């Protein structure tokens, strides 16, 4: 299995608009972060896109992605979904709606926000095309085979709302979580690679802080943990140097092989 980080930044992205801080002006390409998204490629050739962030077109081009089998949504916040129109190139190439998975609530809100994508009664004019998606709701902890691999959604709190993390075979992918309970830890244990959100060094009402994420990673005990949803508060190199062994910051374009 191969994991590609398409984006690893917060809802602001890095650099932030109008920010003159040293990190936003860093020459280290690892300090340039688009909004969070990822691609999982299975050993059987399946491709799962996790979220559709606003820079999706550029992210897919940079990663050389021309097809995907399905989209997994963690939740429907704008920084995770507002590149959804860019799936038009994918659904057109696939000659039909692209399967899109997530919680029933998130999919319902996306169907309202992007009705033209999900409503088959809305037709493209002759000579034009539109993105096409098929909404398939998932339930917490109920495993489904998607693109030939077992996918288990795991609900975690993100402030007042719930978001899905995903266990995909040997990979555990959790972003925008605030609390990781003991039962979620048990579900994610055994993963060889863990992806976990980490925002500031201090507490935040809806996201794990970097110290909290480190403690969660140590409880889960994956061989490798990659931190994502990072802000402009940290130079990548400095954060990498101070994290415990086996825990490291991800960066846009990073590919990870999971055997």
pLDDT of the residue at 92:
86
Where does 91-220 show beta strands of DSSP type E? 98-103, 133-138, 144-146, 149-158, 161-168, 171-174, 193-197
Give me 247's structure tokens. Answer: 């825990």
236/239 Cα distance (integer angstroms): 5
Task: Inform me whether the pLDDT recorded for 103 exceeds 80.
Answer: yes
Task: Inform me whether the pLDDT recorded for 96 exceeds 90.
Answer: no
Q: Cβ(185)–Cβ(175) under 8 Å? A: no
Give residue-wise pLDDT tens across range 145-171.
999 999 999 999 999 999 999 999 999
Task: Inform me whether the pLDDT recorded for 105 exceeds 80.
Answer: yes
Q: Residue 211 forms beta bridges with which residues?
A: none
Q: How many CA atoms lie within 13 A of 168 on its CB side?
A: 30
pLDDT of the residue at 259:
85
pLDDT of the residue at 90:
92
Nearest to 72, CA basis, from 53, 48, 107: 48
pLDDT of the residue at 172:
98
95/180 Cα distance (integer angstroms): 39
Residues 6-34, mean pLDDT to the nearest whole number: 97
Task: Inform me whether the pLDDT recorded for 35 exceeds 80.
Answer: yes
Residues 115-132, mean pLDDT to the nearest whole number: 94
Q: Cβ(229)–Cβ(10) under 8 Å? A: yes
Give residue-wise pLDDT tens across range 232-254.
999 999 999 999 999 999 999 99
- Tell whether omega for the bond before 13 is within 30 degrees of 0, i.e. cis: no
Give residue-wise pLDDT tens across range 37-93.
999 999 999 999 999 999 999 999 999 999 999 999 999 999 999 999 999 999 988
Task: Inform me whether the pLDDT recorded for 129 exceeds 80.
Answer: yes
**236 contacts: CB under 8 Å, gap ≥ 6:** 28, 30, 31, 249, 251
Reported as type and span, the H/E element at residue 134 is strand 133-138
pLDDT-derived band at 11 (thresholds 50, 70, 90) equals very high
* pTM score, whole prediction: 0.96
Residue 222 φ/ψ, nearest 5 degrees: -65, 155
Query: Which domains, and CATH codes, for the chain?
Result: 2-257 (3.60.15.10)
pLDDT of the residue at 38:
98
pLDDT of the residue at 4:
98
Give residue-wise pLDDT tens across range 189-236.
999 999 999 999 998 999 999 999 999 999 999 999 999 999 999 999
Q: Cβ(22)–Cβ(61) under 8 Å? A: no
Task: Inform me whether the pLDDT recorded for 95 exceeds 80.
Answer: no
Give me 127's structure tokens. Answer: 């000579």
């Amino acid at each position: 299995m191969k994991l590609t980080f398409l984006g690893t930044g917060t809802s602001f992205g890095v650099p932030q608009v109008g920010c003159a801080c040293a990190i936003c002006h860093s020459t280290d390409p690892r300090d340039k972060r688009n909004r969070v998204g990822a691609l999982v490629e299975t050993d059987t050739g399946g491709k799962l896109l996790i979220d559709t962030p606003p820079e999706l077109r550029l992210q897919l081009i940079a990663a050389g992605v021309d097809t995907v089998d399905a989209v997994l949504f963690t939740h429907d916040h704008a920084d995770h979904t507002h590149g959804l129109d860019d799936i038009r190139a994918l659904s057109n190439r696939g000659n039909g709606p692209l399967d899109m998975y997530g919680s029933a609530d998130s999919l319902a809100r996306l169907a309202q926000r992007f009705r033209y994508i999900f409503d088959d009664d809305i037709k493209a004019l002759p000579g034009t095309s539109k993105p096409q998606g098929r909404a398939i709701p998932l339930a917490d902890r109920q495993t489904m085979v998607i693109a030939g691999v077992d996918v288990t959604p795991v609900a975690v709190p993100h402030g007042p709302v719930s978001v899905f993390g995903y266990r995909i075979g040997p990979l555990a992918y959790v972003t925008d979580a605030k609390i990781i309970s003991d039962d979620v830890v048990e579900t994610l244990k055994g993963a060889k690679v863990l992806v976990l959100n980490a925002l500031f060094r201090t507490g935040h009402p809806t996201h794990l802080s970097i110290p909290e994420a480190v403690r969660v990673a140590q409880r889960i005990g994956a061989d490798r943990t990659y931190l994502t949803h990072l802000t402009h508060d940290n130079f990548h190199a400095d954060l990498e140097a101070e994290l415990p062994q086996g825990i490291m910051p991800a960066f846009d374009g990073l590919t990870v092989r999971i055997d």
